[in-house]
Amino acid sequence: MSPNQLLLLGVNGPELTREEGALYRELQPGGFVLFTRNLVNARQTRQLTDELRALCRTPPFIAIDNEGGRVWRTAPFAPAPPSPEQLRRTGDAGLIARAGWATGRLLDLLGINFNLAPVLDIDHLPGASNALRGRCWGESDQEVINNAGVFNRWQRRQRILGCAKHFPAGGRAANDPHHDLPVVEMDTDELQRSDLIPYTALMPELDAIMISHLHFPRIDADGLPASLSRNIIQGLLRDRLGFDEHLVLTDDLDMGAIQQGYGTPEAARLAIEAGGDLVLLCHEFMNARQTLAALQELPGPVLHDIDIRIEKARKRLRIPPGFSEATLTEIAGDLTKLRKDVLGEESGPDADGPPQSPVEDY
């Protein structure tokens, strides 16, 4: 297996530049991550994903954050469903299933095969500025299991891979890892009594786990964020909890919590050595060759295990259907009706903020 497959790279805009196309063709990354900056309309988005697939010799993962509410990258042309918080307040699993089903159908039509959702963080600090406002499926472990499980189940029926986040306990962060490294004073036993329960309960239905940029000093004494910590990824997630067949992703390595203490190449190497499979370079991806150089010395057994996990996930991917404006109109209608049923006739903006936050939460 080539270490190139460990990279999930961003794209600058709605059209590939000559430089981007040359880079992707040369590197053959494992996949790509799309943001609102890449999406103008549905047809353009599908053309972009078709071009990305055509550049790759191996079917790439094409990922996006479509959680609902304000974290809904396709907002320029598809109504956002109510946020996880708004949906879980209804207490209606049928409404959540409709959100997951419509999300899966939309992404499949757009040629996107990997949704970086659902959030499995318990909403311990609803008033904190930790980037999770409106994004959590519950304030208790059972509430998260019930609600996030339904959403994920229905998006996966469209063969869209789901990714649980932000392991092990993003809901404990008091500040925003986009800017600084949050510190959480909890040990493994404490986490297993609450925050880890949604992960273990939903394990059979999860394709991937995203690791948070939070530091747990009582678990990792070396000061490493969870996303770079072998104690947390290999020791806790894989060995103790048994997630030895799931894909493990870092959160974006360009975030402040990482960049303040590590360069991207070093962070990528540490993440893979810690037990991870894929590293996200969402913004400074044109420097990916430097990160790749840091991954070249990984031992063969590590790459062998990663290859097995990646290929297992790839077997769930399918060729997207032909693009259809009629299908898009039908999906948009379903999303509009869902908003009406949850938020009322004159739903207006989501209560948890605009469809897109100034900071691209993920």
* DSSP three-state, residue 248: strand
Structure token pair of residue 159 = 């063969």
Pair of tokens at residue 83 = 């946020």
Q: Which of 124, 166, 178, 283 is catalytic?
A: 178
Q: At what angle do helices 288-295 and 18-27 cross, to 10 degrees?
A: 10
Catalytic residue among 176, 207, 251, 334: 251
Give catalytic status of residue 178 as yes or no: yes
Rounded Cα gap, residues 95 and 87, in angstroms: 7
| CB-CB contact of 213 with 233 (8 Å) | no
The question of whether 305 is a catalytic residue gets the answer no
- Cα–Cα distance measured from residue 195 to residue 248, given in angstroms and rounded to the nearest whole number: 18
Question: What burial class does residue 300 get, using C-beta atoms within 10 Å of its C-beta: 0-12 exposed, 13-18 middle, 19+ buried?
Answer: exposed
β-pairing, 31-33 with 7-9? parallel
How far apart CA 106 and CA 331 sit, in angstroms, is 7
- The token pair at 42 is 């549905």
Active-site residues, by number, are 178, 251
